[in-house]
Amino acid sequence: LADKLASVGVAVGALHGGKSQAVRTRTLAMFKASSTAALVATDVAARGIHVDGVSLVVHVDAPTDHKDYLHRAGRTARAGEAGVVVTLATSKQQTAVRGLTSRAGVYPKFVDVRPHHAELVSITGSKEPSGIAYIAPVEAKSDFGGARRRPRPGQDQRRRRPR
Q: What is the per-residue pLDDT across 45-63, written as a single tens digit (0 to 9) for each?
A: 777 777 888 888 888 888 8
How far, in Å, CA of 103 to CA of 114, rounded? Answer: 27
| Positions of the chain with pLDDT lower than 70, given as ranges | 77-79, 126-127, 137-163
Residue 134: its pLDDT value, please? 76
Superfamily of domain 2-138: P-loop containing nucleotide triphosphate hydrolases (3.40.50.300)
pTM of the prediction?
Answer: 0.67
How far, in Å, CA of 26 to CA of 50, rounded? Answer: 14
Helix (H, G, I), strand (E, B) or coil at 14: strand
Residue 153: its pLDDT value, please? 56
Residue 95: its pLDDT value, please? 92
